[in-house]
Amino acid sequence: MRVIAGKYRGMVLHSFRGEDIRPTADRVKESVFQILSSRLVGARVLDLFCGSGALGIECLSRGAGEVVFNDLSDESLSLCKKNLSRIAGNFRVTRSDFRAYLSRAEGKFDLIFADPPYKEDYFETVFSLICQNDLLSSGGLLVYESENDLSPVSGAYFLDRRKYGRTVVTMIQKEQTN
């Protein structure tokens, strides 16, 4: 795993060993960030299931204003902090279940990355909590990574969907109500 572009381009990130953890592949990351490039400079970002921190670090490398890294796993947070120790930027690391974090988060995010374990189906819960707590800025995106296509839910506008092998990346906005 490496940083694809920006200030830290080419930096090799520490990653998990073994087959239990599935980090976002570099080619998927490259494609997703190509789509998001115009949204990153100055953005406030949440990396909700941060793992090694690769997605949030990519955002910082490309000019994000602030990134919040969250995970429940001590192993993930240790690895994320190890990667973050090599860079500068405005970031914070929290240890919390995603439900608890989304229930107490303050302010709005321009981008929220949610890359939960594929065996879990958290999409409806994640989206519902984001909406209930008004966590997306106007035009903000939830970027959700999963193994299967997401089922539509009330209030969600699926802006874009890309399939990369067994990975599906869906970009979701809150439907605008007038």
Q: Is residue 151 part of a domain?
A: yes
pLDDT in tens, 130-176: 999 999 999 999 999 999 999 989 999 999 999 998 899 999 999 87
pLDDT of 119: 83
Number of domains observed in the structure of the chain: 1
Q: Is residue 1 part of a domain?
A: no
Q: Is residue 60 part of a domain?
A: yes
β-pairing, 91-95 vs 109-114, is unpaired
Q: Is residue 57 part of a domain?
A: yes
Q: Are the C-beta atoms of residues 170 and 150 closer than 8 Å to each other? A: yes
Q: Which domain holds residue 30?
A: 26-174
Q: Is residue 111 part of a domain?
A: yes
pLDDT in tens, 48-70: 999 999 999 999 999 999 999 99
Prediction pTM value: 0.93
Q: Is residue 117 part of a domain?
A: yes
Residue ranges with strand state E in 23-175: 44-47, 66-71, 91-95, 109-114, 136-146, 156-164, 167-174
pLDDT in tens, 15-53: 876 444 556 677 888 899 999 999 999 999 999 999 999
